[in-house]
Amino acid sequence: MALQMESQAPPIKVETWLRGEPLALFQPGKVYVVEFWATWCGPCAAAALQLVQLQEKYKGAGLEVVGVAADEDASAPVEARAKLGAWLAEKCPHLNYRIAFDSAGEMNKLWREPSFSVGIPTSFVVDRDGHIAFIGHPRQLDEVLPKVLNGSWRTSDEAKAADTARIARNGAVAREQALKKPINDRFWAAIKIENWKTALSAIEEGIALVPDDINFRLAHVHLLLHRMHDMQQGMPVIRQLVCDAIDRNSENWMLAALGQLFGPAHDHSHFPSAERFAMGKKLSEHILALNPPQGDGPKFRSYPAVARYYYDSGNKDRAIELLTLAVKSLDSPGLSPNALKQHLLPDLLQALASYKGGRAVKALSTRLRKTFSGRHQSTIGRRKYIKRGVNLNVYWPIRPFPWRDRSK
């Protein structure tokens, strides 16, 4: 039976509770946010900080947040629990809501699968009468949750339209994922044993089946250029990806291609330098035309990648200018949630400090202290740019290869 708005909320069936008191039943009169997340999921870190804020803000109105870790990468449950404990201690030391752990797949079967929820983080809002009020991304909670709490959400046309659109959208994605699953299974089996030729064969079959799948296209480039180091086959593939990205006028595709050419996780020493920078220039100019510096569009997602191109090409001042605009865009009116800003800002400032050199370090630390001076000071996003390169989940919208195996 499909799980949607107005459905009775499924039960909570988990192996153990890592934080907070166990929850057996939803109490009448309370509103619950049931959040599915994982430690490997970049956006889940920002969502966790947001949920801390929402729990504190609306606790008096009867809100209870429940985090469900049901999708961990580990060889055994004990390893997954250890990983979760370490992640929570580092990223969310001031956590103020329950965390449940389930490695048996019960929660996914009860909640995510019948609701066509194909990705994480995913939030389920359970209303005061135990029925589902909302299913979607946690970034929508700032707008939706107050309406659920005051009782106006479920009766609104907005809520009904949103749920209808979600079912259609996620249903289509679920059908496509089922189509791709045999290919993904073969691909990941080959990746685990570093059998690049078999992995390449699987990806080429996937592209033939779904030519517009950016993850297949990106894996194709990465396997040839960064794993097999086959420049003869790989260069035509990256050229085609660049052309297709520009023809689509898709920021997501252009950033994906730019990441293969300038992503800090990759060794580009074997690339033809002149062509690499020519492609980077073309992509960067199109991204800036799509989201110009003088425009009102948010810069924090795309400008760091473009700045990396300019920095590597020797235009340090342009790189600093673009990163500065990316930082300023986090203050754009209407940017929500605030947790997103707190997640992204440290890495942006670390990158900016790196580009400026030692002169910026003092100013950086001062601004970080001001930004994270509140009670719920978080370590989310404080990876060291200088040591490991830019936080890829922030600076490259498509996860660096190899991505986590989410095919099962």
- Quick one: how far is CA 79 from the chain centroid? 23
Q: What pLDDT digit, counting tens, does each position of 107-150 carry?
A: 999 999 999 898 899 999 999 999 999 999 999 999 999 999 99
**pLDDT score at 390:** 28
CB atoms within 10 A of CB 42: 17
* Phi–psi pair at 37, nearest 5 degrees: -155, 175
**Which range, of 91-105, 267-281, 388-402, averages the lowest pLDDT?**
388-402
Going by the DSSP 8-state scheme, the letter that residue 393 receives in this structure is H
Going by the DSSP 8-state scheme, the letter that residue 108 receives in this structure is I
Quick one: which H or E segment has residue 350? helix 338-356
pTM of the model: 0.65
Q: What are the C-alpha distances in Å from 197 to residues 185, 190, 340?
A: 15, 8, 39
Q: What are the C-alpha distances in Å from 77 to residues 50, 81, 101, 104, 299?
A: 27, 6, 9, 9, 40
Instruction: Judge whether 274 and 252 are in contact, CB under 8 Å.
Output: no
Q: Is the predicted pLDDT of residue 306 greater than 90, yes or no?
A: yes
**pLDDT score at 386:** 25
Instruction: Give the residue with greater pLDDT, 2 vs 136.
Output: 136
Provide the terminal-to-terminal Cα distance of the chain, rounded to the nearest Å: 21
Q: What pLDDT digit, counting tens, does each position of 361-385 carry?
A: 344 444 443 433 333 333 233 332 2
Instruction: Judge whether 84 and 101 are in contact, CB under 8 Å.
Output: yes
**pLDDT score at 387:** 27
Domains of the chain: 16-155 (3.40.30.10), 229-395 (no CATH)
Q: Using DSSP bridges, classify how beta strands 132-136 and 63-69 pair: parallel, antiparallel or unpaired.
A: unpaired
Q: What is the C-alpha to C-alpha distance for residues 380 and 299, in angstroms, rounded to an integer?
A: 20
